[in-house]
A and B are shown apart, each in its own frame.
Chain A
């Protein structure tokens, strides 16, 4: 069997005395769209941020395309990456879309999209621009390529952020509550772009509150509760027949 694009084993994460993740396992194969659900404080964002080491896991294993992210023990700080070079290389293969967009505000839309390809991956600038323009075309923002993020609506900014993620041709796209900071009327444009990505077979990990997206678009749903996976499975199964009482309550409270 082909190894998983992303494989997480027994992941733990503590902040001081507070254990946020208490042993999470997760496998994402190519083309998987996995929605991660859970109440606030359940650890779902922390889980996503551990994948690209924006948070350093306290223990556990993360493999990207079979490659283990090496960790070592530091006397003062506990677990730290053994090789920052390895971490940087792996990060450049995993693109993240943030809740607050986090587009670089001193760069234009186009500059945002070509930044990582040119300055991290070493793609020639001309080539990167051609590709970036095609991607912007696709998210419907080609006309705005010379605008600055501050001149765009939230929905447009998030679509640029998705374009920025696509430009690095990532193995896995990580979405951290991509629609939570948007006005309700702007949520649709972002979700429809994400739906398109799922349809073309992108591997996606999506932390979200959008039940419709989790149910209709993803092929796997993970429900986290207090740092543990409380329920998981195919959406059509677990939404119809939740085995966990908490997940049942969660669905009914959100709808």
Chain B
């Protein structure tokens, strides 16, 4: 236990990082999920196709593999892009000025931080799950509710913000809660791309102290604390919204 106390501060910092990654990913996931759901419900074949491809591919591949693919692939993509852009700009300058010497307008190597890579990856993965949650929720809104809004002269935007969205959220809440719990636990994966979250810190600490059980147990407790708190909050929110109706 003495070892645990030595690491207490840094572990708590890691826990805070985990929470940050989770919350920021959630925001991204909700945003992507709403876009995905609206695209799937739109009349445009192209939008529908893109959204279906997104949810099918993402939900069909393990999170761990996706995390590695997006992190390393993203790294390659960014660097290739930056290289091509440099090349293009230099060629452009050479056509106008034959004396032009090669210059790196963009850095040749951009290191993606595991923090943002983690948030983007997790947000991207859970956006696909959220899209399905929101799609179902949008479809559960009774047609009469929207018809009444139309009949009273609301614009499309007003119908969405005043009636569609609040009613949809009521149906989406249990699904969002479920996704949040899974998302929170998935943050443990960002340790493999090098983020100093509490899982990574626990791993390092157990390596140097030879007490893996102690550290991973502590991490488990922190996760359990986060999830229990979330469940309580979700229950409260669901109750708050269900009292409003029948």
Contacts and interface: CB of A to CB of B under 8 A. Distances in A.
Interface of A: 52, 54, 84, 88-96, 98, 100-106, 115-116, 119-120, 148-151, 164, 168
A206 to B, nearest CB: 16
A54, A89, A120: most-surrounded residue (chain B CB, <10 A):
A120
Interface in B220-246: 241, 243-246
Contacts of A52: 151
Question: Contact size class for B?
Answer: 20 to 34
A164 B167 CA distance: 19
Interface of B: 142, 144-145, 147-155, 158, 162-163, 166-167, 170, 241, 243-246
Given A88-B155, A92-B152, A150 B145 contact: no
The 9 closest A-B pairs by CB, nearest first: A92-B153, A150-B246, A91-B153, A102-B148, A102-B144, A116-B152, A96-B151, A150-B245, A88-B153
Contacts of B162: 115, 119
Given A92-B153, A95-B151, 17 more contacts: A54-B150, A91-B151, A91-B152, A91-B153, A96-B151, A98-B147, A98-B148, A102-B145, A104-B145, A104-B148, A104-B167, A105-B244, A105-B246, A106-B170, A119-B162, A120-B152, A150-B246
Nearest to A174: B151
A84, A102, A149: most-surrounded residue (chain B CB, <10 A):
A102
B153 to A, nearest CB: 3
Contacts of A102: 142, 144-145, 147-148
Contacts of B155: 84, 88
Nearest to B242: A150
Given A150-B245, A151-B246, A105 B153 contact: no
Nearest to B148: A102
A151 B154 CA distance: 26
A95 to B, nearest CB: 7
Contact of B167 (A91, A105, A148): A105
Contacts of A101: 144
A84 B156 CA distance: 10
B143 to A, nearest CB: 9
Contacts of A106: 163, 166-167, 170, 241, 244-245
Nearest to A149: B245
Contacts of B145: 102, 104-105
A120 B158 contact: yes
A89 B245 contact: no
B142, B151, B162, B241: most-surrounded residue (chain A CB, <10 A):
B151
A90 B153 CA distance: 7
Given A115-B162, A148-B244, A151-B246, A103 B152 contact: no
A156 to B, nearest CB: 13
A131 B167 CA distance: 26
Contacts of B245: 105-106, 148-150
Contacts of A151: 246
Contacts of A92: 152-153
Given A104-B163, A106-B167, A95 B246 contact: no
A119 B158 CA distance: 8
Contact of B153 (A104, A120, A149, A164): A120
B32 to A, nearest CB: 25
Contacts of A116: 152-154
Contacts of A93: 153
Contact of A168 (B147, B152, B167): B152
21 contacts: A54-B150, A90-B153, A91-B151, A91-B152, A91-B153, A95-B152, A96-B148, A98-B144, A98-B148, A98-B151, A101-B144, A102-B144, A105-B145, A105-B245, A106-B167, A116-B154, A119-B158, A120-B152, A120-B154, A148-B245, A164-B152
A88, A89, A100, A106: most-surrounded residue (chain B CB, <10 A):
A106
A54 B143 CA distance: 12
Nearest to B158: A119
A128 to B, nearest CB: 13
Contacts of B244: 105-106, 148, 150
A89 B153 contact: yes
Contacts of B148: 96, 98, 102-104
